[in-house]
Structure 1
Amino acid sequence: MDDAQRERGPWKKNLYVLWFCTFVAGIAFSEIMPFLSLYVSQMGDFSKQELTFWSGLIYAVTFLITAIVSPLWGSLADRTGRKVMLIRASLGIAVSMALMGLCTNVWALFACRFFQGFFSGYIPNAQALVASQTPRAKAGVALGTLVTGSVSGTLFGPIVGGILAQIFSIRNTFFITAALLTVVCLMSAFMVEESFVPVKRVKGAPHESLLHKVADPKLIVILLVSTMIVQTGNASISPIISLYIKELMHNQGAITVVAGIIAALPGISNILAAPRLGRYGDKHGSGRVLIGCYLFAVLVYFPQGIIGSVVGLGVLRLFVGISDAGLFPTIQTLLTKNTPPETTSAIFSWNQSFQALGNMFGAFLGGTLAGLFDYNVVFISTALLLLINLIVLRVTEPKLLRRTDRKA
Structure 2
Amino acid sequence: MSTAAAERTVTVPAPAGLDRRQVHAIAACYFVASFAALGLPPFLTQILPGLGDADGSWAGVLYIVPTVFSGLGAPLWGRLADRFGRKRLLLRAQLGLTVSFLIAGWADSLPAFTVALVLQGFLGGTFAATNGYLAAALEGPGLSKALTLMQGSARASLVAAPILVGALSPWISPHRQYLVMAVLPLLAAGLLALLPEPSRPVRPSTAGQQPATVVPGSLKLLYTVEFAFVFSTIISFPYLVALVEQKLPGVSGTVTGLLFALPHLCYLAAAGRVHARFLERPRTGLAIGFAFVALGLAAHGPASSLLTFTLARLLLGIGLTLGLVCLSVLAAEACRGRAPGRMFGSLEFVSKGGAVAAGVVAALVNSAFGPTAPVLAGTATALVAAALVLLSRRSN
TM score, norm. by length of structure 2? 0.86
SS at match of 1:133: coil
Structure 1 distance, partners of 2:313, 2:34, is: 19
Residues 1:272 and 2:269 are matched in the alignment? yes
Deviations 1:337-361 (A, max 9, x none): 1333441121111111111112211
Change (3 A) 1:302 1:340: same
Do the aligned partners of 2:32 and 2:188 also contact (CA within 8 Å) in 1?
Answer: yes
Query: Which letter does structure 1 place at the counterpart of 2:114?
Result: F
- Equivalent residues of 1:61, 1:113 under 8 A apart: yes
Correspondences of 1:92-241 after superposition (within 5 Å): 92-190=96-194, 192-196=195-199, 219-241=218-240
- Tell me, in whole angstroms, the C-alpha distance in 2 between the residues paired with 1:376 and 1:296: 18
| Structure 2: unaligned runs, 5 residues or longer | 1-11, 201-213
Q: Deviations over 1:285-317 (max 9, x none)?
A: 222221221122222221112111123222322
Comparing 227-236 and 107-116, the one that deviates more: 227-236
- The alpha carbon displacement at 1:27 in A equals 2.6
Please tell me whether residue 43 in structure 1 is matched to residue 51 in structure 2: yes
Q: Is the 8 A contact 2:139 2:332 kept in 1?
A: no
Match of 1:337 among 325, 333, 339: 333
Q: CA offset at residue 280 of structure 1?
A: 1.8
* Cα distance in 2 for residues equivalent to 1:6 and 1:62: 41
For the pair 1:72 / 2:76, whether they are aligned, the reply is yes
Q: Deviations over 1:267-298 (max 9, x none)?
A: 2211122121212222x322222122112222
Looking at structure 2, the residues matched to 126 and 393 of structure 1 have their Cα atoms a distance apart, in angstroms, of 27
Q: Which amino acid aligns with 1:193?
A: P
Distance 1:186 1:246, change over 3 A: same
CA positional deviation for 1:399: 4.9
| Distance of aligned partners of 1:227 and 1:161 in 2 relative to their CA distance in 1, 3 Å threshold | farther
More helix by share: 1
- Counterpart residue number, 2:245: 246
- Corresponding residue for residue 388 of structure 1: 384
Q: Does 1:257 align with 2:254?
A: yes
Q: 2-side partners of 1:241 and 1:381: how far apart?
A: 14
Q: Which runs of 5+ in 1 are unaligned?
A: 198-213, 401-408
Aligned twin of 1:353: 349
* Alpha-carbon distance change, 232 to 151 in structure 1, aligned in 2, over 3 angstroms: same
Counting only pairs closer than 5 Å after superposition, residues 357-368 of structure 1 correspond to structure 2 as 357-368=353-364
Aligned match of 1:33 in 37, 41, 46?
Answer: 41
- After superposition, the C-alpha distances for 1:321-344 in whole angstroms (9 at most, x for unaligned) are 332222223223212213334411
Q: What's 1:376 paired with?
A: 372
With over 3 angstroms needed to count, the CA separation of the structure-2 counterparts of 1:263 and 1:359, relative to structure 1, is same
SS at match of 2:136: helix
Aligned to 2:150, the other structure's residue is in SS state helix
Would the alpha carbon gap of residues 166 and 355 (structure 1) be closer, same or farther in structure 2, given more than 3 Å must change?
Answer: farther
CA drift of 1:45 comes to: 5.4
CA–CA distance in structure 2, aligned partners of residues 309 and 141 of structure 1: 37
Match of 2:314 among 312, 315, 318: 318
Q: Kindly state the Cα deviation for residue 6 of structure 1 after the two structures are TM-superposed.
A: 9.1
Q: CA shift at 1:178, angstroms?
A: 0.8
CA distance in 1, matches of 2:160, 2:231: 19
The answer to whether the Cα contact below 8 Å between 1:144 and 1:325 also exists between their aligned partners in 2 is: no
Deviations 1:109-146 (A, max 9, x none): 11111111111221122223223323524333332223
Q: Distance in 1 between matches of 2:31 and 2:314?
A: 19
Give the partner amino acid of 1:169: S
Change (3 A) 1:9 1:216: closer
Q: How many Å separate the matches in 1 of 2:394 and 2:123?
A: 38
- Retained in 2: the 8 A contact 1:23–1:149? yes
8 Å contact from structure 1 (residues 40, 55) kept in 2 = yes
**Would you say how many aligned residue pairs link Structure 1 and Structure 2?**
372
TM-score calculated relative to the size of structure 1: 0.84
Q: 1:332 to 1:346 in 2, by over 3 A?
A: farther
Following superposition, the deviation at residue 56 of structure 1 comes to 2.8
The one-letter code sitting in structure 1 at the alignment partner of 2:333 is K
Counterpart amino acid of residue 99 in structure 1: I
Q: Contact 1:268–1:318 at 8 Å: present in 2 too? A: no
8 Å contact from structure 2 (residues 296, 316) kept in 1: yes
> What corresponds to 1:307 in structure 2?
303
Report the AA paired with residue 29 of structure 2: C
Q: Give the % identical residues.
A: 20
Residues 133 and 198 in structure 2, CA contact (< 8 A), matched pair in contact too: no
The 8 Å contact of residues 62 and 114 in structure 2, kept in 1 or not, is answered as: yes
User: 2:283–2:390: 8 Å Cα contact kept in structure 1?
Assistant: no
Task: Return closer, same or farther for 1:137/1:336 CA change in 2, 3 Å cut-off.
Answer: closer
Q: Which amino acid aligns with 1:26?
A: S
* Gap change, CA 1:279 and 1:130, over 3 Å in 2: farther
